[in-house]
Structures are given as C-alpha cells and as structure tokens.
Homo-oligomer: A and B are copies of this chain.
Amino acid sequence: MAGPLPTLQFVARPGILDLSWGHPAGDALPVTAWLEATERTLTIDGSRALAYGYAAGPAALREWLAARIGAAEPRPCDPAGVFVTAGASHALEILAAELMRRDDVVIVDAPTYHLALRILADAGVSLVHAPTDSVGLEPAATAALVAELRAAGRTVEFLYLVPTFANPTGASLPDDRRAALVEVARHLGLTIIEDDTYREFAYDGPAPPSLWGLADEGTVIRIGSFAKAVAPGLRLGWLNASNDIVDRLGRRGYLDSGGGVNHLVAMTMAHFGESGAFDRHLAVVRRRYADQRDALVGALPPSLPVAAPAGGWFLWVALPTEVSATPLLAEAERHGVSFVAGSRFYIDGRGEDHIRLSFSMLRADELTEAARRLAAALSATIRAAP
C-alpha cells in the first residue's frame, strides 16, 4: 500500500466542499459527555462492563431502549424484543446472514440507501425495486409484485425501506401508506425491515409513528442506530423484533462465542441514556442540523428547487431535464463541490435525474458556498449542453 494508512473513513479532498458524506459534523460529537459516561460505567459497573456480555445486549440498555420506544410509539416495547447491534449496517448484515438465503428475492424501496443494497447483495439475494410514485412506495402495487414473484416460484420474505426522513430523499412515507403497507405485509406474511436511522432528527414537529409501532408482533423488524444520534465510532445500534427473532440472532455461533456484539459500549450507552446525556446531546445537534438544512435549502438556486425535508440529513434534488447527474458531478468537482449521483440509490440505472446533497457535515457558511459552486457548475453544464 502506498502512503500512510488511514484512520477514518472520511477522505478530505482539498478544495472540495463535499456534500456526498452522510457523516456527522466532527465538532458535533459528544467527546466530553462520552468520557463522563465511560467514567460512570467503569466506576459503577466495574469489571462487569469488561466481561463477556449477554448475546442480545446488556439488560440496562435493552430496558432503557424499550422504555423510550414504548413512550414514543402506539404500542409497548418488550425489552426481550430488543437486540443490541454494532450499528444499523451490522443489524442488516446479521439479519441477512440469519434469515435470508442465497437467491431469495428482497424487495427494496426506490430510491433507497445504496449501502444497504450492498449489504443485502453480499448475502447473495436478488434485489427487486418496489413500485413507487412521487410520494413513495405504493403498497397495493407492491403486494401485486410480491404475488407475481411468488407465483413464479421465487421466495420473497423481506422488504427493506427507510420510511422516515429517508436516505436519500429526506421524505417520509405518508401515514395512510404506512397503514396500508403494514396491512399488506401482514396479509402476505412479508416481513418489513424498517431502517429507522434518522428518526431522532425531526426538525418541524414529531416524527411519524414507525411502521413497527403500527404493526402486529412479527410483521416489522425495526433497525435503530446510535451512529447519527450519538457517534458513528461507537458502532452501536439496536433492532426491535419478535422475541423469537431476537433469540435466533443471539444463538448464532459467533455471539455464543463472543457474547454481546459490543458489550462495553452498550453498557456505557445505558449510562449515557439514563443520565439524560443522550437527550441533552440530541437537543443540541437537532437544532444544529436543522440550521444546516435551512442554510443549504436557502442557498440553492431557483434552477434547483427543493422543499425542505422535515427531518434527516439529505436533500434529494431534481435536476433540470437537460442535465444528468454524472456529467454534472464531473463539472461540480471542477467547481469545488461534490455530491452523490441519484443513480447510486437504484439498482436499475434510474436516478440520473436527481442528486443527493448531505447537509450534516459542513458548517452553514460552507453549505452556502457549496450551493453557490453547485449553481455555477449547473450553469456551466447547461451552457455546454448540445
């Protein structure tokens, strides 16, 4: 390998204001509060925080999560139905390893989180996009698609989506579609995997109820994460599932061998939550990310109209009809700004008519300048069009 080894996933590119990363701002990470929680954990729990943990996660974190979830959702949350993961992406990896078989079909939203598509593809499953319209996934058409695939002999047991403050669109599935989708899934015996990573970043009022909250036991597996809400380097998240699924995950050999997937960090998160540090941190970063959203939305040119999403970290911007995302990206980088082309969020080549802009990592003044550069790149691309 040439050059020094990296420490972080993020790659700084001098001269580029990079709107492509769904990463938190470095100075928004709770360095001092996490150290305090670690001190409390190692003082109060001592060696219990360093021992082999229970496969599904330590009681304190599962109970704190269940109480918090039960207070926010229309149905209670049994702590025995909470499984602690090493982040949302690990949740998807372990669900795929335990529950999916090679060549099964998994239905995925369109567009949807591009790296979730990679994780599912690693498990060898076939991905098929759900039918969608301008407000999102269409439940009745999805039911018809599943029936058609099953009639053709395919195994179709799971549907993956990010229904709340979605990656990449920032949009949330409307309430009537939530109810309809849950009913379709229950009727078909289809399990919804609800990636709920962005729920805590609601800027204009409460987040919609989760699909998990609207469903019967067993219809929805909900994935939550502390990566955005606290810090990605913790590698900690959770999932809500039936007690049976939680038991199955905990019986995998590597958990039987290694214990809980991230025991010390999970023990520390229980203190971070119970002490109120989690809510204090969220209140601060929620205001900050709302301000960054407003800065970017306000600075975009009239040629890139976008409605401010009510939550999350992303703007999904429709391009003028004469411009495609990939050539615009090349021009944008020459202008010192970057983003992700919309086609990355589909598996079928669609999406060149959109770009995803992340407002989580840059300051408001940088976002304003990034929007100015993007406008210039767009103008240059339109001028150069045949």
Contacts of A93 in B (CB 8 A): 252-254
Q: Please tell me if the beta carbons of A122 and B254 are within 8 angstroms of each other in the complex.
A: yes
Within A46-74, which residues are at the interface with B (CB < 8 Å)?
Answer: 46-56, 58-60, 62-63
Interface size class of A (residues with CB under 8 A): 35 or more
Contacts of A92 in B (CB 8 A): 254
Q: Which label, helix, strand, loop or mixed, suits the secondary structure of the A interface?
A: helix
Q: Please tell me if the beta carbons of B243 and A1 are within 8 angstroms of each other in the complex.
A: yes
Within 8 Å by CB of A27, from B9, B39, B47, lies B47
Contacts of A46 in B (CB 8 A): 31
Q: Please tell me if the beta carbons of B51 and A23 are within 8 angstroms of each other in the complex.
A: yes
Interface flag for A90 (CB, 8 Å): yes
Q: Please tell me if the beta carbons of A48 and B79 are within 8 angstroms of each other in the complex.
A: no
Q: How far is the CA of A349 from the CA of B86 in the complex (A)?
A: 36
Contacts of A143 in B (CB 8 A): none
Q: How far is the CA of A90 from the CA of B234 in the complex (A)?
A: 17
Within 8 Å by CB of A50, from B31, B56, B254, B260, lies B31
Within A221-258, which residues are at the interface with B (CB < 8 Å)?
Answer: 227, 231-235, 243, 252-258
Q: Please tell me if the beta carbons of B254 and A235 are within 8 angstroms of each other in the complex.
A: no
Interface flag for A215 (CB, 8 Å): no
A50 nearest CB neighbor, chain B only = B231
A149-166 vs B, Cβ < 8 Å mask (1 yes, 0 no): 000000000000000000
Q: Please tell me if the beta carbons of B90 and A254 are within 8 angstroms of each other in the complex.
A: yes
Q: How far is the CA of A120 from the CA of B257 in the complex (A)?
A: 12
Q: How far is the CA of A56 from the CA of B93 in the complex (A)?
A: 17
Within 8 Å by CB of A257, from B47, B118, B258, lies B118
The smallest C-beta distance from A223 to any residue of chain B, in angstroms, reads: 12
**Segment of A262-270, A285-293, A315-323, A337-345 engaged in the interface with chain B:** A262-270
The smallest C-beta distance from A70 to any residue of chain B, in angstroms, reads: 15
Q: How far is the CA of A353 from the CA of B217 in the complex (A)?
A: 47
Q: How far is the CA of A35 from the CA of B48 in the complex (A)?
A: 14
The smallest C-beta distance from A285 to any residue of chain B, in angstroms, reads: 13
Interface flag for A6 (CB, 8 Å): yes
Contacts of A4 in B (CB 8 A): 59
The smallest C-beta distance from A128 to any residue of chain B, in angstroms, reads: 18
Contacts of A134 in B (CB 8 A): none
Q: Please tell me if the beta carbons of B256 and A115 are within 8 angstroms of each other in the complex.
A: yes
Q: Please tell me if the beta carbons of B10 and A257 are within 8 angstroms of each other in the complex.
A: no
Interface flag for A38 (CB, 8 Å): yes
Q: Please tell me if the beta carbons of B97 and A50 are within 8 angstroms of each other in the complex.
A: no
Within 8 Å by CB of A42, from B26, B31, B102, lies B31
The smallest C-beta distance from A252 to any residue of chain B, in angstroms, reads: 6
Q: Please tell me if the beta carbons of B232 and A261 are within 8 angstroms of each other in the complex.
A: no
Q: Please tell me if the beta carbons of A8 and B102 are within 8 angstroms of each other in the complex.
A: no
Q: How far is the CA of A102 from the CA of B34 in the complex (A)?
A: 42
The smallest C-beta distance from A8 to any residue of chain B, in angstroms, reads: 5
A69-94 vs B, Cβ < 8 Å mask (1 yes, 0 no): 00000000011100000111110110
